[in-house]
Amino acid sequence: MSEDIDEMKDELREEIRSLREEIRKEVAAAVGNPEKSSIRVDIREDDLSQTEPSSVIVKDLVKLIRDNVRSSLAQKGERAVDDLVVEMGEASAAELLKSLANTERIKIVKVLYSSNQTFSDLKSVTNLEAASVSHHLKSLLRMGLVAHGDEGGYILTKRGKLLVRTLALMNEALGGESVD
């Protein structure tokens, strides 16, 4: 009986190794081919019905798969970010940062991050004169960070939300300190 259990464990371990290798190949293929956006692993139903793995082995398998996928995605992500840095246009990046390099504009996009606002609402929240609110909105509109809403107000665009989130993460990473 003990030999049968040991034999089943060995068979299951071999199946897990085989599955792990298949997953590695699929992940490598997906990472190497950006057009392939999914990973597929087929397990025959009769293979599953013949085995009753212990929960410890299943947990280990899930952890192993999760760790391998995370590692592959992290490597792919780092390469993608490195490519973005190399390809980044300095002038357009500087213009984009300039569009938010003002406390009043940051206040405006923070308000718009939470909800759409009318011109009057923005004037009220910022305590600015109408001409100043208009000036800041024109700059944010020109850079594509803010857009006119369907109901006449202003909304933060996807690009605007991404930039505001990035700015918040940068602020957090630098501890809110000024960097020269």
pTM: 0.52
Which residues have CB under 8 Å from 106's CB, separation 6+?
100, 167
Report whether 100 contacts 113 (CB < 8 A).
no
For residue 68 the two structure tokens come to 């391998």
Count, residues in the chain: 180
Residue 7 has pLDDT above 60, yes or no: yes
On whether both 71 and 103 belong to a single domain, the answer is no
Indicate if 145 and 101 belong to the same structural domain: yes
Residue 179 covered by a domain: no
pLDDT in tens, 46-55: 655 555 555 5
Q: What is the pLDDT of residue 170?
A: 80
Domain assignment present for 131: yes
Question: Which tens digits make up the pLDDT trace of 75-108?
Answer: 766 777 677 778 888 898 888 778 778 899 999 9
In-domain check, residue 82: yes
The CATH number given to whatever domain includes residue 149 is: 1.10.10.10
The gap between the terminal CA atoms of the chain, to the nearest Å, is 72
Domain containing residue 159: 90-173
Q: Is 56 exposed, middle or buried (0-12, 13-18, 19+ CB in 10 A)?
A: exposed
Which pLDDT value is given to residue 67? 72
pLDDT at 32 over 70: no
User: In this predicted model, what pLDDT tens digit does every residue of 131-175 receive, in sequence order?
Assistant: 999 999 999 999 899 999 888 899 999 989 888 888 888 878 777
